[in-house]
Amino acid sequence: MRSAVPAMLALLLAVALAGPASAQCKLHRGDVVVLYSSAEDPDVLVWDSRFRLRDYYAASFDEARQLLPHALLARSGTRAEIESCIPDFVQPGLLNPLADAVGIVIIAGPHRDQRGWVLGTDLRRRRH
């Protein structure tokens, strides 16, 4: 019986460690990126809080319109630096996977030095 106890503990530990991996952001603090949403609508909404970013994607049309004053519209190609990232924070649609909420500071253009939050899917690594 005593020899079964260590084996059971080892089995329990193995099961506990075999759980799903924790989500991690693909972008990290200090990374320089370019804002670009999609080919149909490449400009990006930059939100004043990550909670409004999440609420916008969960909102009805009327609710989303009421949230818009809390965002600025950055042109595609605007350069930004990553300040923080919250993995899997936003559900951008019923059929889309969870997306990261990424805190940025804009480093070029008319919105230079503005801070805000965008979807991780609206960012592209800058090519040198």
Distance CA 122, CA 125 (A): 10
Both structure tokens of 6: 């260590």
* pLDDT for residue 10: 54
pLDDT tens for each residue of 63-85: 999 999 999 999 999 999 999 99
pLDDT tens for each residue of 82-115: 999 999 999 988 888 999 999 999 999 999 999 9
Q: Using alpha carbons only, give the angle 17, 23, 24 rounded to the nearest 5 degrees.
A: 120
- Whether residue 116 contacts residue 56, with contact meaning beta carbons closer than 8 Å, is answered with no
* pLDDT for residue 15: 41
Helix (H, G, I), strand (E, B) or coil at 26: coil
Q: Which residues contact 63 (CB under 8 A, 6 or more apart)?
A: 55
Nearest to 25 by CA among 116, 76, 98: 98
Nearest to 97 by CA among 57, 69, 39: 57
Beta-sheet strands, E only, within the chain: 32-35, 44-47, 71-74, 79-90, 99-106, 115-119, 123-125
